[in-house]
Amino acid sequence: MPSISTPDGTRIFYKDWGSGRPVVLSHGWPLSADAWDTQLMLLASNGFRAVAHDRRGHGRSTQTWGGNDMDTYADDLAQVLEQLDLRDAILVGHSTGGGEVARYLGRHGTARVAKVVLVGAVPPLMLRTDSNPEGTPIEMLDAIRAGLLTDRSQFYQDLSVPFYGANRPGANVSQGARDQFWRLGMQAGLKNAYDCVKQFSEVDFTGDLQRIDVPVLVAHGDDDQIVPIRAAAAKSVQLLKDATLKVYEGAPHGIHGDYERAFDADLLEFCTS
């Protein structure tokens, strides 16, 4: 399997499809590069080199005991770009992957990056605080951690419902899509998935967003039950220097169905413009 090795010896699996300008995609929690297969196929079929890696502890990458923090995730992403010598790249991050992308840009700059897409992304801060009243209460995040420790298999089955908006009237989410979410989640190490909850929810990306000096497409569903738009995209566009906000009416957190088709069209247009 193709992989790169980080300075601490972690093996990071990646997919590398097509040729042309590189588009590098960072997945959400608790998934893997497989979550991007439709977008990888789309991009590689339209003249791009599409690359997606499994975050450490997820998918086929090493299940490390330590290093499950946003700074290390960002440095792992830097290793992917540097070891594959990717330049003039477009970075795409969904959910936790959006935090990873933002932190990469905050720590490593935009020398290798031309554009960015943040879709359903956790920045600037997911956690509810006095200064971020629109955020997610800590009790909900604690419930995620408890679910992982109690019965993570059932927890992932249950989480797939709000993730894809399957609890909304008229929802058309296949059992296969929900099963795939469960399958990818179960591939992540328990310790890695547990530690990552704190990283996607409690890390403040405000400074990272303010340092980004390339165009950013901020895409978000307005019925996202996992990362509500009012605490995420609506605030991120105010912090970014050059941002375009695209709101998908009625769309959930998971990129699926009509939402996926609309997003794919916008992604391809943004990459080719």
Whether 69 is catalytic is no
Q: Which of 16, 76, 195, 224 is catalytic?
A: 224
- Residues whose CB falls within 8 Å of the CB of residue 67, separated by 6 or more in sequence, listed in order: 8, 10, 56
Per annotation, catalytic residue among 27, 94, 253, 256: 253
Residue 95 known to be catalytic:
yes
By C-alpha distance, which of 215, 206, 217, 212 is closest to 245? 217
Distance, CA of 259 to CA of 241 (rounded, Å): 26
- Identify the bridge partners of residue 53 per DSSP, sorted by sequence position: 14
> 124: cis peptide before it, omega within 30°?
yes
As a whole number of angstroms, the distance between CA 16 and CA 44 comes to 9
The yes-or-no answer on residue 53 being catalytic is no
Angle, CA 227 vertex, CA 44 and CA 138 arms, to 5°: 140
* Token pair of 9 as six digits: 């010896």
Q: Is 42 helix (H, G, I), strand (E, B) or coil?
A: helix
Catalytic residue among 26, 32, 61, 95: 95
Q: What share of the chain is helix, strand, coil (3-state, %, to 5)?
A: 45, 20, 35
Based on the number of CB atoms within 10 Å of its own CB, is 132 exposed (0-12), middle (13-18) or buried (19 or more)?
middle
- For the annotated catalytic residues, the residue numbers are 95, 224, 253
